[in-house]
Amino acid sequence: MNETVKKTAVKTIGAATGSAGSVGLISSAGSVAGLSAAGITSGLAALGGGSMLGGLVATSALPLAGVACACALYRWFSD
DSSP H helical segments within the chain, as ranges? 3-29, 37-47, 52-78
- Domain that includes residue 40, residue range: 3-78
1 pLDDT higher than 80: no
Counting the structural domains of the chain, the total is 1
Q: What is the pLDDT of residue 5?
A: 85
Question: Measuring CA to CA, which residue among 69, 65, 64 is closest to residue 10?
Answer: 69
pTM beyond cutoff 0.75: no
Give the model confidence (pLDDT) of 26-74 as tens digits: 988 889 988 899 999 999 999 999 999 999 998 888 788 878 888 888 8
Instruction: Give the integer Cα–Cα distance in Å for 18 and 7.
Output: 17
Confidence band of 78 (pLDDT split at 50, 70, 90) = confident
Give the other-Cβ count within 10 Å of 13's Cβ.
14
Q: What is the pLDDT of residue 79?
A: 66
